[in-house]
Amino acid sequence: MAAEISARISAFVEALPLKPGFRVLEIGCGPGVAARAVAKRIGGGFVLAIDRSEKAIRLARAGSADEIASACVDFRCVAIEDFALSSGDALFDIAFAMRVGALDGRHPEAGRAALTRIRAALKPGGRLFVDGGDPLKEIDLVGGLTS
């Protein structure tokens, strides 16, 4: 059964500049709550949600059977520092992360590796959003992590 969405996650997802048909990369998806909410907002689009935790991915898949069956959401167990597009994957329009240490300044070396991987996965002009703003902030993909 899919988990209820918290007010924090709902506000974050609602603030994302999403459009129908977008391809979205979620970094650190946990049980998949935000991925499912994003999928509802991008009718005809696709969300790839990743997490380094096998347990989180198992929970996300278990709670997202309908979305997986309709091919609007998929999950992969991988850390963002190690993420690479699979053969045949299209680039993403937007990437986002909530409470991910590699992107919130807690782990600077991992953050540099993560930004390299994210840049490679995004279309030209693609955008990266993280929590910590009101309710989100955009990371400058040219300049790197902001303070």
Tokens for 22? 């977008």
**What's the angle, vertex CA 84, arms to CA 82 and CA 37, rounded to 5?**
95
DSSP annotation of 16: S
**pTM to 2 decimal places:** 0.93
What spatial distance separates the first Cα and last Cα of the chain, rounded to whole Å? 37
Q: How far is Cα 4 from Cα 2, in angstroms, rounded to an integer?
A: 7
pLDDT tens by residue, the chain, 147 residues: 455 899 999 999 999 999 999 999 999 999 999 999 999 999 999 999 999 999 999 999 999 999 999 999 999 999 999 999 999 899 999 999 999 988 888 888 899 999 999 999 999 999 999 998 889 999 988 765 544
Cα separation, 19 vs 66, whole angstroms: 21
What gap in Å lies between CA 37 and CA 7, rounded to an integer?
A: 12
**Cβ proximity of 12 and 28 under 8 Å:** no
Q: What is the secondary structure of 90-119 as a DSSP string?
A: PPEEEEEESS-GGGTTS-HHHHHHHHHHHH
**CA 56 – CA 63 distance, rounded (Å):** 11
CA dihedral sign, ordered 55, 38, 99, 129: positive
Cα separation, 44 vs 46, whole angstroms: 7
